Structure 1
Amino acid sequence: MVGDRQAIPRSEISAPAFMGREREVAALGQALSQPPAVVLVEAEPGAGKSRLVQEFLAAPIGQRHRLLVAVCPPFREALTLGPIVDAVRQAREGVAGLPLTALAGALRPLLPEWADDLPPLPAPLDDAKAARHRLFRALAELIRAMGVTGVIVEDVHWADPVTMEFLLFLASHRASRQQAEPPSLLVTYRPADVPPGSLLLRLSSRLPVGTTQLRIGLAPLDVLQTAGMVSSMLGDEPVSMEFARFLHERTGGVPLAVEESVRLLRDRADLFRRNGEWVRRLLPDLQVSPTIRDSVLERVQRLTRPAQQVLQAAAVFAEPTPGDTVTVVAGVVGGPSRAVADPVPPAADPVSPASSEPMSAAISEAVASGLLREDERLRLTFRHAFMSQVVYEAIPGAERRRLHRLAGEQLERLDPPPVVALTRHFREANQVEKWSHFAEQAAERAVAGGDHTTATALLTELLHAADQLPPETQLRLARRLATIALGRREQVDELHQRVVAVLRRVVETGSLNDREQAQLRNPLGRLLAQQGDLAAAQTELERAIPHLGQDTAEAGRVMTYLGWPWLGPWGAQAHREWLRRAAALDHSRLSPVERTSLQADRAVALLQLGDDEGWQVASALPAVSESDSPALRRQRCRACLNFGTAATLWGLYDRARRWLAEGMALADAEHYPRIRSKIAFGEVELAWLSGHWQELEPQLTAVAHDEDTEPLVALNAARLLGWWHTVDGSLRRGEEYFTAAMRDARHFGAIEDELDLAAGLGRLRLAEGRVGEALAVTAAPLAPVVSKQVWLFATALAPVRVAALTTAGKLNEAVELVTAYEQGVRERPVPASLAGLATCQALLAEGQGAPAAARYAAAAEAWQRLPRPYEVLLAQERQARCLFAEGAEQSGQELLTRVWQGLAELGARADEERVGRQLREYGVDVRRPWRGGRRGYGTQPSPRELEVIKLVLAGKTNREIAQVLHKSPRTVAGQLASVMRKLGVSSRTELAVRVVEEGLVAESEARPTG
């Protein structure tokens, strides 16, 4: 669901919390508590080695030790013993008062500023090794005299050889009986940057007996830890798991890359708060920050030319690729094995596979660098996506195009060819003919797999190069693109807008005749309507009709579409005229599928206009049998769904159940999951309206939060959840659902849903006494109902609007609204509309100070005819209030007691409590009894819900959890949502923290395993 898109201010970004390294800190403390110890911490750049040291030093377990911290700078010519000497200088202002022997005089050359307090310089030694050993002994004596229990040296891969020798001296030097225990040693380094032959390798292999040894490898963060880290940077507000997965995929969970990416997204205003969570724009890629980019490039430049060429080719492939294919494209056929810092010049186009020796050497070097990895199938890929992106972006444009062409030519030889990869390679190589060929294939495969968005993106990109395509190809691609784009499940987004722009450009090229233009204007108009540009949609559709042929199915579809009540600014009569013209077409030449589709759509449009003729058209729709084609049975199934929805809107609930039941049987028989999910929700909505509320909340929660739910179905589930929480007394949650669903409805252009949501928000505002806000939230949504005279959609909203107007004293406006409602319903007596009107008439009478008890009784009877018990009880509550006001206190008390009992049985807790308070004010003793049944687990998760929690903490998706527990993904989503509601959290990140805090799972179980 799309909520308010509030961009993040720069001031709201803070330093990230220490995340996912608690065990490592504890291990460090334990090792250093058993001196002498040697601890090696290894990790790639940005993995958090320095942060680990900082957190250890700040933690109570680290403060028990007196530690000297040295850092090796990335100088090409490191200073001899520089890191250790600098650390000593920073730790003390001098050596005065330290118990030093004459040996310390050897430190005068290293610490000339302290020469006055150091012993005299000892006589020089002829043996250089002996002199160095004396210097090491003197420096070790100084460190012991300072009371240091441990020496930390960061980034020892940059240490000079003498510093490394000193560290080995410290690690292997045993104290005499008179001396204190030698200090422990903790070093951090990047394995890929350790030079060949480094003495660092001896730190873990040649240590004295009794030395405590520990090696820590810092793994990247997992998805849950990534989410926690990002959340800590954003004021501890939750982040969406989609955003967390996106960042984790692009950064590989490297903490520095995550942090820099969040700051870069902030700088580009690509972060927003939606539904209480931080999310990102729909970006296909994530830019790499300059800090990360420079670090990666510096590592690349240290490699030989063949290894750099392998990296470039691997970056162009961007997915696991056999090493021999990578090296053929890279052109590694020999060459000097020397390090280069300049950009790699283009290699000649290879015509044969690279020789094995240079190829193996180049691959080995690239893998040893830590940038590439080789899987068990000998395929090469970058260790992290951001590394690949950095290398790719550094390739000059012409060379990049050449490499893409070579990659495409290599992959073309495969059987079957990888069409998606070939589309990308030939697109980047600017080989339009081949690009078009493979893009069409890739799009069709995506559609076959139900992925209309990928197919839409592929064809949209291709049509951006329309100037290089023949007109007939442009037309074919544009028509296919329009068809696919209309089938997308996603909301209106940037891709939708790009499709509209591309189609408009193709229409306006001047190379298409009138009929060809019309064939594009039809879907273009529909896409414009989807994004809310109704006037432009109307223009395109009306321009298309004259050139489609008056007796074609396409012309009939356009006319029927123009007959839908919410398209365009005109009134209901104009819509009816379009439907009349559609019915007048000659249908004899249409196929049974086309006739069924047009007839069903016309019936639904008439029903939405409140015309009883629509039921006649629906009844005349031919039934289907098992011998009919799947396409015809699908059209009948779709018609059943739409007729059932219309019957629900009319208040004809028995009829709605019959239509939905027939549709469900067809959907199950023909395996139509999308239509089935909509029918299932239609049945849930019927259950809600008719007062069958048992177990509805888990079902609605599962639908609203299931990642596979249709967006419009999820929107409507959120709408009903808003009502559920409102009647249950969770007004804040109800408002959140209403508000988020309202923005989604506007994004989708779902005007009818917006009306019901406005009714829910308006009722909430009135209950809170915020009359002005109730007026504001109900005004705009009701305006098109009044102007178009489609009162069928005012059933829920009009009474709330009248109540707000009368409460605010705007009686003239209330009279105008009720009068218009009466006139509109008089000609089209729809049961639900009549009940809504009766409620409006009662509210108006009460607002005018007239006796209104009888009118509320009439409204309750109208709602009962549907039946809609919740509205019956609300009308009777108002009736009882009026009876009290009119002096019939006994009748009012009896009626109010029955209302209280009915609300309790229904499960409307908030209304039950409100009416109970009123009864107690009248002296009636009311107590809510327990009505039997399982008492449940209250605010604590059930055992089954705990199973789900543990798998969530293991990093599994709803679908994976469903497979493990042998449940449906929707059931898992419902249980997860129930747990989150019980614990008062709104994201998986918060859930992970809360369950550990409350002891629901052990802390060891809260660390994901995959």
Structure 2
Amino acid sequence: MRTLDVALGQPPAVILLEGEAGIGKTRLLREFLTAPAGRRHRSLVGACPPLREPYTLGAVVDAVREGVGNVSGLRLSGLAGALRPLFPEWAADLPPSPEPLEDPTAARHRLFRAFVELLGRLDVSVLALEDVHWADDATLEFLLFLAARRPQPVSVVVTYRPEELSPDSLLRRLSSRLPADAHLVRLALRPLKVDETAAFVSSMLAAEHVSAEFATFLHLRTDGVPLALEESVRLMHDRADLVRRDGGWARRRLDRIEVPPTIRDAVLERVGRLRPDTRTVLHAAAVLAAPADYPVLLAVTELPADRVGPALAEAVACGLLREDGRGHLSYRHALACHAVYEAVPVPERRHLHLRAGRAVEASALPSAAQLAHHFRQAGETGAWCRYAEQAADLSTQSGDVATAALLLHNLVSTAALPADALVRLVAKIHFQSLPDADPYWAAVDALRSALRSATLTPHQEAVARFQLGRVLMVAGAMEEGRREIERAMTALAPDSVEAARARTLLALPLGAARPAAAHLRWLREAPPLAPSIASYERLRLRQERTFALLMLGEESAWAEARRLPDDSDDPPRAGLIAISHTNFTEAALRWGRYEEARSWLAKARKVADSHQFQGLLGAIASSQARLDWCTGAWDGLTERVDALVEIDGGVWRKDQCEAALFAGLLQAAAGDREQAVQRLLLAGRDDQQRIEAAAALATLYLHDGLIDDALKITADPVEVTVRHGIWTRGIQVVPVRVDALVAAGRLDEAADLVAAFHRALPGTAAPAPQAALELCRAMLAEAHGPTEQAAALFARAAAAWQALPCPYEALLARERQARCLAAAGQHGTALPLLADVARQFTLLGARNDADRVTRTLHEHGWQTTTTRGRGRPGYGDQLSPREREVARLLIGGRTNRQIADTLTVSVQTVASQVRSAMRKLRVDSRTALAIRVVELGLTGDEGRPPARDR
């Protein structure tokens, strides 16, 4: 109580009140708000209901509705008209509804601003929301919106169960990403100790003494959870385990008392001891779940009014139900509600849901989400579909596309819908907002079933097939989706929005290999759009088309990008503009235009901040991480990308995959190889990151001498990018592929790949691919001998990377330049250069690379002060432990097959390691390798297997 008083006495505050179920969060909050300290604040309190069908901003709406009688006389601006769908009872007092917004982010932002205005007009100082672990995404985003505004309009108090939060819950951002000046208080409630248990039980027994033995007995069986203690003591009293004698309490012997092991058991036993009418009321309240007024509760029970009153009185008196300020009744605790609900037989439960649905339908303020829930549980498919779509439309109008997507997906994947209704509903679903990947395939199955029917017109079939293709591509099945969209194009109206968006999807260079010309054809042959298409859609199509052209390497698209607006006073257009800025940031980074990327990113952040587009912050942060990686701003980058990589259920958003890519690259540079591989494999799940992830993994394989693995993982990415002229996706993978081909002795293939890369580049000089091309040419020259010419080419590559600037790639090229000079006998130039490279690697944070260079310097007698970084080392031009083992066995005269049998690996792996060792030691035969290993003193126990195999 004191903590809450102090925190709310320094407004505005954000207070997180956490603890397990039954620990007393609700009781503490409500006791405080009714105490003198709490009454000093104008507070609104709402609770998040545990409904399967979510209710957009349900807790906020209920808090306002319970605490505010009407809004007449508040002199609200026209912005408050956005509240009309959520408060139909205030229609006479609210301004007219504003124009609908097609962009959900903008619609949600407008609604949030309307709520803030309302809270300000009502002079509310505290908004308290309970059970936020059940909150819909819109409610959580509203809390973030409140906490991020400056000045923060109200203090926020939330209660929740931390064990029920998913790893990627938006609630975690409320504590981890608040502004620096935010006043955050975290209050965690813990179970009672034994002495506290004794005091608690005594307070229920007329303050009489409770023995330590009895308190310990109860504590062991309830874990000190207050609700479990309360239910157990009430139950023991009801069944006379506790009796009143001679003016005091007497307790039976402990060995004769049975305390239920769970709250559920205690609640159900207590309910079973109540009168039948009271049990009927409790069953009805459990089915309704949300607070209900007397007429609705009466209708669900179907009891005569003269019997319901006494039953309600008993239910409230026994502590199971409570009445709020509006006269609505509900369970005092969700655990008790759930326990009673689960105990109702399924046939009776279904009948109660049907009565509940009809009662709510006839009430003054019917909730579409609650109606959808009741009619679904009742098995009334028609009513369920009608109200679920209404609830989804309401959520979309409020900008809550996640709730709308969940409601609509439940429909299309469960109900038997007519084909035209199915296509209409699928078109509304924002699949990226769904909580896991399975919904994609449920919708795919439903659309395929509709397409198999003979009831669709050609136009309906085309739209259904386009939606099927769109869903497949979102799900990652790029080629299946592309085929369906291509089939749909034949019947879609050429000048329609669907046809234009289909062309953009087909133009994006994702999935399997296609020539760049084939992608470009979809955009260049597009007919003009129909005049009826709204300006918002026209802007979106312009932006999407420009981004596709940039990803295809079209220089002219940059001029079009610069002609697009930088911002807008219109929220939906501003949302589109912010997204396009992040897309252009990505394109600029791939082209190597880092300063331009920085400019686009600054514009995106400015628009997102000014319009409070919370949903774009992840994409902006991941783009910033990419820019910082490229430009060498690594200080604190590891922590930032780790914070971005928060996943739930194996589902990854694009920005999380991008963050995982750079987390893997940073870990590889630091020497944490195993963790780097895990991050890179996860990043590769996303099509837009998979090629760069493959390049990074191939680099690790080469350092370990696994040449064949490096060749295998880079084969398809090179085919997708260079061979088909899509150079924007090949900048990282082409050099490592060339390196692997050279290591394998396949020099002709390496030269052919470099030539193909050169042909794929645009006529103008995009900096990043030009630097990569210089590096590839240097690798080819080095393959024919580490001469001064190869060193000069590596120097040119280093200069090209540094000009971007991309210091890490520049240092890698300078290292190879120095090694070529050393091999050519120019140690006086090579060793100081290597020493400087080692120092720069250390300053950058690439400890693994610094260690590799330092080992080379030590071999040449050059003393350095570079310290070893953490994690598994990369080996550079030094033999890895496994390569040494292979070399020792080779000296003994064993064949590759015999070595493979000894080490329990494949013959192919042995061959790769032999070739890697030959490359590193600059020899061209197995005999020369054996001689060189002996000369360097690397033989150890020549010809004998390693100790673990003996």
Fold conserved between structures, TM > 0.5: yes
1:726 corresponds to 2:660 = no
Out of 419, 443, 456, the position equivalent to 2:368 is: 419
Kept in 2: contact 1:463–1:478 (CA 8 A): no
Out of 854, 862, 866, the position equivalent to 2:792 is: 854
Secondary structure of 2:214's match? strand
Kept in 2: contact 1:382–1:388 (CA 8 A): no
Kept in 1: contact 2:850–2:866 (CA 8 A): no
1:540 corresponds to 2:476 = no
Distance in 2 of aligned mates of 1:658 and 1:884: 42
Residues 389 and 839 of structure 1: CA distance in aligned 2, closer, same or farther (over 3 Å): farther
Structure 1 residue 885: deviation in Å? Answer: 0.8
1:530 corresponds to 2:437 = no
Gaps of 5+ in 1: 4-19, 29-34, 53-154, 158-187, 219-253, 258-291, 334-351, 930-1010
Residues 204 and 796 of structure 1: CA distance in aligned 2, closer, same or farther (over 3 Å): farther
Distance in 2 of aligned mates of 1:376 and 1:866: 64
Kept in 2: contact 1:489–1:711 (CA 8 A): no
Look up the match of 2:683.
741
Where does 1:122-271 land on structure 2 (aligned, <5 Å)? 191-192=234-235, 195-198=238-241, 205=248
Deviations 1:92-140 (A, max 9, x none): xxxxxxxxxxxxxxxxxxxxxxxxxxxxxxxxxxxxxxxxxxxxxxxxx
Deviations 1:370-425 (A, max 9, x none): xx45466673338555873674465243x333211211222234443222111111
Out of 456, 459, 476, the position equivalent to 2:408 is: 459
Structure 1 residue 296: deviation in Å? Answer: 7.8
Distance in 2 of aligned mates of 1:36 and 1:622: 76
Where does 1:746-785 land on structure 2 (aligned, <5 Å)? 746=685, 750-785=686-721
Match for 1:316: what amino acid?
V
1:49 corresponds to 2:221 = yes
Look up the match of 2:430.
485
1:475 corresponds to 2:420 = yes
Structure 1 residue 636: deviation in Å? Answer: 3.5
Out of 407, 410, 420, the position equivalent to 2:356 is: 407
Where does 1:965-976 land on structure 2 (aligned, <5 Å)? none
Residues 313 and 580 of structure 1: CA distance in aligned 2, closer, same or farther (over 3 Å): same
Look up the match of 2:152.
none
- What is the TM-score of this pair, normalised by structure 1? 0.58
Match for 2:859: what amino acid?
E
Out of 248, 272, 277, the position equivalent to 1:306 is: 277
Residues 738 and 449 of structure 1: CA distance in aligned 2, closer, same or farther (over 3 Å): farther
Secondary structure of 2:213's match? strand
Match for 1:405: what amino acid?
L
1:429 corresponds to 2:378 = yes
1:843 corresponds to 2:779 = yes
Residues 720 and 201 of structure 1: CA distance in aligned 2, closer, same or farther (over 3 Å): farther
Deviations 1:52-100 (A, max 9, x none): 9xxxxxxxxxxxxxxxxxxxxxxxxxxxxxxxxxxxxxxxxxxxxxxxx
Match for 2:330: what amino acid?
L
Out of 631, 640, 645, the position equivalent to 1:690 is: 631
Kept in 2: contact 1:603–1:617 (CA 8 A): yes
Where does 1:543-558 land on structure 2 (aligned, <5 Å)? 543-558=487-502
1:667 corresponds to 2:590 = no
Match for 1:475: what amino acid?
D
Match for 2:655: what amino acid?
V
Distance in 2 of aligned mates of 1:894 and 1:885: 14
Distance in 2 of aligned mates of 1:204 and 1:815: 101
Deviations 1:194-251 (A, max 9, x none): 554445666995689xxxx9xx999xxxxxxxxxxxxxxxxxxxxxxxxxxxxxxxxx
1:604 corresponds to 2:778 = no
Deviations 1:614-634 (A, max 9, x none): 334434x3446757x444444
Structure 1 residue 870: deviation in Å? Answer: 0.8
Structure 1 residue 541: deviation in Å? Answer: 1.4
Out of 327, 331, 346, the position equivalent to 1:381 is: 331
1:645 corresponds to 2:586 = yes
Match for 2:476: what amino acid?
G
Match for 2:390: what amino acid?
Q
- What is the TM-score of this pair, normalised by structure 2? 0.61
Look up the match of 1:922.
860
Residues 504 and 729 of structure 1: CA distance in aligned 2, closer, same or farther (over 3 Å): same
Residues 435 and 799 of structure 1: CA distance in aligned 2, closer, same or farther (over 3 Å): same
Where does 1:777-926 land on structure 2 (aligned, <5 Å)? 777-786=713-722, 788-811=724-747, 813-825=749-761, 830-849=766-785, 851=787, 852-926=790-864
Distance in 2 of aligned mates of 1:502 and 1:386: 38
Distance in 2 of aligned mates of 1:668 and 1:37: 60
Kept in 2: contact 1:479–1:519 (CA 8 A): no
| Greater C-alpha radius of gyration | 1
Distance in 2 of aligned mates of 1:776 and 1:194: 73
Kept in 2: contact 1:799–1:836 (CA 8 A): yes
Distance in 2 of aligned mates of 1:802 and 1:204: 93
Distance in 2 of aligned mates of 1:36 and 1:417: 49
Q: Which piece of structure 1 moves more, 769-778 or 561-570? A: 769-778
Kept in 2: contact 1:42–1:217 (CA 8 A): no
Kept in 2: contact 1:490–1:711 (CA 8 A): no
Distance in 2 of aligned mates of 1:653 and 1:313: 63
Look up the match of 1:15.
none
Structure 1 residue 595: deviation in Å? Answer: 3.3
Gaps of 5+ in 2: 1-165, 168-189, 199-208, 868-950
Match for 1:356: what amino acid?
G
Look up the match of 1:344.
none
Distance in 2 of aligned mates of 1:382 and 1:594: 49
Secondary structure of 1:39's match? helix
Report the identity percentage: 31
Residues 812 and 389 of structure 1: CA distance in aligned 2, closer, same or farther (over 3 Å): farther
Let me know the Cα RMSD of the aligned residues: 4.4
Structure 1 residue 829: deviation in Å? Answer: 5.0
Secondary structure of 1:605's match? helix
Secondary structure of 1:547's match? coil
1:595 corresponds to 2:531 = no
Residues 547 and 385 of structure 1: CA distance in aligned 2, closer, same or farther (over 3 Å): farther
Deviations 1:846-898 (A, max 9, x none): 34545332232222122123221110001100111111111111111121122
Secondary structure of 2:476's match? coil
Secondary structure of 1:548's match? coil
Q: How many residue pairs were aligned? A: 660
Deviations 1:672-724 (A, max 9, x none): 333454234323322221122233333333333499x9932222222212222
Out of 297, 305, 313, the position equivalent to 1:360 is: 313
Residues 445 and 855 of structure 1: CA distance in aligned 2, closer, same or farther (over 3 Å): same
Distance in 1 of aligned mates of 2:632 and 2:728: 21
Residues 712 and 723 of structure 1: CA distance in aligned 2, closer, same or farther (over 3 Å): same
Match for 2:582: what amino acid?
L
Structure 1 residue 657: deviation in Å? Answer: 2.4
Distance in 2 of aligned mates of 1:504 and 1:353: 55
